[in-house]
Structure formats: structure tokens, C-alpha cells
Amino acid sequence: MSDNQHLEHMEHDRGTWGSNFGFLMAAVGSAVGLGNIWGFPYKMGNKGGFAFLIIYLLLVIFVGVVVMLGELTIGRKTGKGAVGAYAALSKKYKWVGYLGILSAFTLLAFYNVLGGLVMRYMFGFLLQILGVDGFSGAGMGFFGYILYDYSGMIFFHVLFIVCNVVIVMGGIQGGIEKFCTVAMPALFFMLLFVIIYVAFQPGAGEGYKFMLTPNFEPLSSFGGFIDVLKTAAGQMFFSLSLGMGAIISYGSYLDKKEDLQKNALIIPACDTLIAVMAACAILPACAAFNMEYAQGPGLLFNTMQNVFLSMGSFGNFVGFMFYFLVFIAAVTSSISLFEAIVTWRLDVGIEKKQKVSRTKIMSIAAVCSFIVGIPVALDALGAADAVVKAPYLLLGMTPEQLAAGQVPMAIDCWLDFFDVISEGIFMPLGALIMAVLIGWKWKTRNLIVPECEISGHKFWGYTFFDICFKFITPIGMILVLGGQIYDFFIKALIA
Ligand code: TRP
């Protein structure tokens, strides 16, 4: 076999996307996740409504699209996942790739547990439709019940991971692409259905008002403006799956004839559309049934469940559909996190000319992610009487200090701990380093432009992208990083 044939053979082993549409569905699937459904609606409502939306959109354009293009280009140019890609561009920066792998595990630690909970609620509403009590007699108080049902928590944690294993084992085209091509359009139509149904509930109007009334008050002071800016930036980052290498992996399977710049626009556009649609379903539903616009897990598992249970018998059906679409959003995101890990090990095997089995790698990744997720599943969101103690309790702080707001968010429960180190530190850091390397070391002109033009498309907006890589993204990331470290670690200590 000539060298060339050998190379081709190896590339074939890695797999490629079957079509650009399939790639887009997978990438949009990675982006659209729990972040869109529980983060965006609440933050938008709370941080100025329409004003928040404008700032969010500006950030998507000036930072999101740019970092997206950077990750896609690095992936496709090197044909490798995050670790291999940074190593191929410069041996010295291989560790940036490892930072991405670390983020993947910290994200999975809580994402899998939440995905499992979503499945539990989905089955609950399915049983309700069949006329069986799906919520173990706890009905509207189910969230408080399930958190202490440890075997249930572990069972659904495992079940969600198994779904991931089945999809990722199928490979790029036969697993991830096939699943996302069906699941993402299905998600869109189910969400549309829920929006329309909610719109006809009396009292829904208050929700739209809460969401859309331009309230510039949060922006009236400099401190307020920075607060909105960093909330929107953190949200944008998490929502677009940037800063840890998932998009680098997906880009590495992309054909050279595809237009990278176009893809870097479409993915953020779809993600933002779904986030706004989710807000249009959730906030009016809360308003119509007089539920609070809670934050985080409470919104998804307490408030929304109670909204559907208050709707009467048809509510069971809408509830099932809602949790089913949230399940799709979650699983299409978690498979991209697993794929970032799998691609890394596949590349190592290919480089060492070893026989590598995707199934074996994925199984090991699944077990590891299960283990790191155990404390998240068993600490009852930081309750003092749970079997697994939350980090603040282990560190000797008390529930009284927690109630007084003196416990930093980073340690109030294991979910927040993993969320904060990934979303608050690793991911903005990853994006900061990438933008600086592209802007100042590898250069937009030498790295990005030639790879984008391979497809035969002329590169547009050079000055814009170059300025964003060099200045706007790094400055934005430093603001986010500083803001998050203050919010998540320091604020409570000086309170
Ligand atoms: N984008 C996902 C969401 O909105 C979460 C996420 C963050 C993610 N970073 C990621 C998913 C990296 C895949 C890869 O919920």
C-alpha cells in the first residue's frame, strides 16, 4: 500500500459527515440544550428583557460567530479533535486541548444527571397519559421527592448515559448525524406546538410582557451594564458549546468543499432562534399558571412540571411533549461532549497506528462520566441531610451560612461546582487562549482565510474577523472570566 492510500484509509476510519445538512443538525443539536431552555428565558426576563436580547445578539455576532469560525476552521484544517488539533498547530499548546477534555468531563458530570431527570419527568407524564400516577404520589411536590430517591436518581443517570452510548457508538454518520437529522426538526415542531398551546392560556400575556418590555434600567449604571454584559456573554458561550473543543471535533469530520463561514453563521442563528422560542413557551406558561420564574433546575423540574399538572388532563400530553423535546435538546448536546472525548482517543490511536475501537473508547468515557456525576446525583442539590455532602459542608461551612448568602455559588452543591468550573473558568479561558493564538500568533490571514477558501468561497469580512480575534473576543473573555470568578467565588465571601 502506498503512503497515500494508507493515509486515505486512515481518514476513512475516522468517519465524515454524510452531508452539510447532517453536520448542521448535529452542530445545532450540540448548541441547543439545557442552556437554551432553562438559562436563556430566565436571564432574559431578569436582566432587562428586550435590552438583554439586543446585547445578547451583539455578543453572538461579535464573539459567538467569530469563535465558532475559529473552532470549525482549526478542526477541519487539522482533521483532529481538540488535543490533536492544538498539537498539530503548535506542540507547545497541546495543553489547551486537554483543557477542553477536562471541560467535557466537568460538563458531563452534571449534564448527564439533568438529562436523567428530564427522562424521569418524560416517563412520569407518559404514565399519567396512560392513567397511572407517574409521580409516585408526590404530584406537585415531586422535585423534592425525587432528589432523595437515590436509586431513582442513579437509575435515570445511567439510562441517560446509555442513550448517549448507543448513539455515539454508531459513529459520525450512522450514529450522531442520523439521530440529529431526525431529532432536531422534531424538537423544532414540538416546541412550536407548545408555544401555540401556551399562547391560548388565559394570563399568558403577562409572560410576554415580562420578556419583551424594554427595561433599560439594569443598563443605566456602569456596574449594571457590566452585569448584564457578563451574564449575556456567559450564557452565549455556554449555549453555543464554545470554548472546549466540541465544535473542533465536529469540524474535523467536515468535508473540504463545505463553506465554513456560512456554517459559522447558521449555527448561532438557529441556536438563538430556539432560545427565543423557548422563552416564548416557558415565561408565558409560568405567568398563566401563576408560577414563579425560578432559576436553574427549579424552573425545569419544579415550575414547569406544576404548570403542566395544573392544565388538566390535556396537560399530561403537553407535559410529555415538553419533556421529550427537552430530552432531545439535552442528548444532542451531551453526545457532542462525549464525541469530543472519543475523537481525542481515536486520533491518538490512529497516530500510534493502533487498532482503536469507538465502542470501547465510548464505553470507558461513559463509565468515567458516570463516576464524576455520582456526587451530583446524590447530594439533593446541596441539602444538609443528603447522603453525599455538598462541597460547602465538606469544607466546614453551615446551612445557616448558606441561608445568609455567605456561601460562594461554586461550592453550594456539586452541580454548581462542576457548572462553575466548566462554564465559569475552563470555557472562557479556552476561548480566550484560542482567540489570542489565532489573532496574534497563527494569524487570521495565515490560518483562517486559506482554510475557508479551500471550498472555493471567497473569504468575506477579513477586517471584522481579524479585529474580533485580536481584540474584541479577548477583551470580552477577560470581562466574563473576571465577572464569573467574582460572582461564583468571591461575592459571597465579602457579603
Ligand atoms: N450548549 C449546550 C446547552 O446550551 C451546553 C454546552 C456547553 C455544551 N458547552 C458545550 C454542549 C460543549 C456540548 C459541547 O445546553
Q: Are 427 and 242 in contact (CB under 8 A)?
A: yes
Instruction: Calculate how far, in angstroms, residue 335's C-alpha sits from the geometric centre of ligand 1.
Output: 10
List the pLDDT tens digit at each of the 495 positions of the chain.
344 444 443 444 788 999 999 999 999 999 999 999 988 988 887 787 888 888 999 999 989 999 999 999 999 999 999 999 999 999 999 999 999 999 999 999 999 999 999 999 999 999 999 999 999 989 989 999 999 999 999 999 999 999 999 999 999 999 999 999 999 999 999 999 999 999 999 899 998 888 888 778 878 888 888 888 888 888 898 999 999 999 999 999 999 999 999 999 999 999 999 999 999 999 999 888 888 887 878 889 998 999 999 888 899 999 999 999 999 999 999 999 999 999 999 999 999 998 889 999 999 999 999 999 999 999 999 999 999 999 999 999 999 999 999 999 899 999 999 998 988 889 889 999 999 999 999 999 999 999 999 999 999 999 999 999 999 999 988 988 888 888 888 888 887
Q: For a substitution probing ligand 1, which of 28, 102, 238 has the most ligand atoms within 8 Å of its CB?
A: 238
> Apex CA 324: angle with CA 168 and CA 338, to 5°?
20
Cα 30 to Cα 90, 109, 335, 351, 372: the distances in Å are: 27, 16, 8, 27, 21
Instruction: Calculate how far, in angstroms, residue 108's C-alpha sits from the geometric centre of ligand 1.
Output: 10
CB of 306 within 6 A of ligand 1: the answer is no
Residues 6+ apart with CB under 8 A from 196: none
Q: Could you tell me the three cell numbers for 285?
A: 406558561
CB of 329 within 6 A of ligand 1: the answer is no
Q: Which atom of ligand 1 is nearest to the CA of 340?
A: 14
Q: Which atom of ligand 1 is nearest to the CA of 330?
A: 15
pLDDT in tens, 327-339: 999 999 999 999 9
How many angstroms separate the CA atoms of 218 and 423, rounded? 23
Residues making up the chain, counted from first to last: 495
Instruction: Calculate how far, in angstroms, residue 238's C-alpha sits from the geometric centre of ligand 1.
Output: 5
CB of 334 within 6 A of ligand 1: the answer is no
**Tell me, what's the pLDDT at 5?**
41
The protein residue whose alpha carbon is closest to atom 14 in ligand 1 is 241
CA 458 to chain centre: 31
How many angstroms separate the CA atoms of 50 and 210, rounded? 9
Task: Give the pTM.
Answer: 0.94
Q: For a substitution probing ligand 1, which of 241, 267, 300, 325 has the most ligand atoms within 8 Å of its CB?
A: 241
Q: Which atom of ligand 1 is nearest to the CA of 427?
A: 9
The torsion of the CA quartet 179, 181, 187, 188, rounded to 10 degrees, works out to 170
pLDDT in tens, 2-58: 444 444 434 447 889 999 999 999 999 999 999 999 889 888 877 878 888 889 999
CB of 326 within 6 A of ligand 1: the answer is no
Instruction: Calculate how far, in angstroms, residue 380's C-alpha sits from the geometric centre of ligand 1.
Output: 23
Instruction: Calculate how far, in angstroms, residue 237's C-alpha sits from the geometric centre of ligand 1.
Output: 8
